[in-house]
Amino acid sequence: MGVPATVVFTDLHGSTAVFEALGNVLATETITRITAWIAQQCEAANGRVVKTLGDGVLALFPDGESALKAVVELQRVHFKRMLRAPNDVAMPIRIGLASGDVELVAGDCYGDAVNVAARLCDLCGPNQIWADAASLHHVSEAQGVTFRILGPINIRGRAEPCTVYQIEWHEVEASDFLTMQGELDPELNIGDSDVLGRELQLTWLAQTKSFRAFELPVHIGRVRSVEFVVNDPRVSRTHARLEWRNGSVMLVDVSSYGSWVRFTGATGADVLLRREECVLHGEGELALGASFADSSVPTVHFKVT
């Protein structure tokens, strides 16, 4: 029988760039130190750390109130620490919360709340906390903490969308324009509506695939295991990653030779990405492994709607 709990997932955003900046040894030490601190803070706040995941932590709390208090404090303290850190090693925390019954098996935990918390952590942006409605049940806003309704969001692998809130944790006066959980229209909890609501279409030669926002991240590459295959020797095995971040589709180049982006109707120069990222909007093309100047370059057409 499951145990009721509020699940907390944390993730250090930008850890890959820190490895490039510091090298493997120093980056590993830095990330391990921050992760250990997060785990200690969770335990000190009445949480149970189930496991650490490289640059993340999975913890369980007995209720939403203790979990929320812990993660807000985490964000506030870590944000102040980052202000003193060099830009190339600053790693903001992303946090997802969800409540429900959890199965504890052999030192690990399973359940719908675990999956939802992990996915909200993936979807939210740096310095953000996203929580499902269940984790905020009977939890009140506090000084400097407000609940902003994002609406129903589809979670990959889950039949029904769940209502999600962004926790505004900066120590400022609560705004009358931020909606409290108790005022939520119950109709938002049902139906097929999805606040992310965006769709990405990719086309290469005769292949066209569409991905909804909640299905991201997806990968473009040469191997069959990626979601969108471009079989050309100039394309890396995993060439680029497409993420949903802060309401936008983000293209992240992870290739050996780079990606070029051209937006339909734009008059500026093509955007060259080498281990960098940019927001995709409207329509355009991606040249993979070589620039658009090469007429034979594999070119993927994209459309964001």
pTM for this structure? 0.65
pLDDT tens digits for range 134-158 = 999 989 888 889 898 877 777 777 8
Instruction: State which CATH number among 3.20.20.70, 1.20.1580.10, 3.30.70.1230, 3.30.450.370 fits the domain covering 3-189.
Output: 3.30.70.1230
**pLDDT above 90 as % of the chain:** 55
Please give the residue that has the higher pLDDT: either 123 or 175.
123
SS3 content of the chain, % helix, strand, coil (to 5): 25, 35, 40
- Strand order of the β-sheet with 218-221 is 228-229, 218-221, 240-245, 248-253, 277-280
In this structure, the strands spanning 218-221 and 240-245 are: antiparallel
CA distance 115 to 208: 29
Residue 187 predicted with pLDDT over 60? no
Here the tokens at position 177 are 């324009």
For 77, phi and psi rounded to 5 degrees? -70, -45
Please tell me the predicted confidence (pLDDT) of residue 302.
Answer: 96
Q: 199-304 — its CATH code?
A: 2.60.200.20
pLDDT tens digits for range 250-292 = 899 999 999 999 988 766 678 888 888 887 888 999 999 999 9
Helices 24-44 and 64-83 pack at an angle, to 10 degrees, of 140
Please tell me the predicted confidence (pLDDT) of residue 136.
Answer: 94
How far is C-alpha 6 from the chain's CA centre? Answer: 19
**Start-end ranges of CATH 3.30.70.1230 in the chain?**
3-189
CA distance 254 to 241: 7
Residue 190 predicted with pLDDT over 70? no
Average pLDDT, the chain: 86
- Give the gyration radius of the chain's Cα atoms: 21
Choice among 51-55, 86-90, 92-96 with the minimum mean pLDDT: 86-90
**Start-end ranges of CATH 2.60.200.20 in the chain?**
199-304
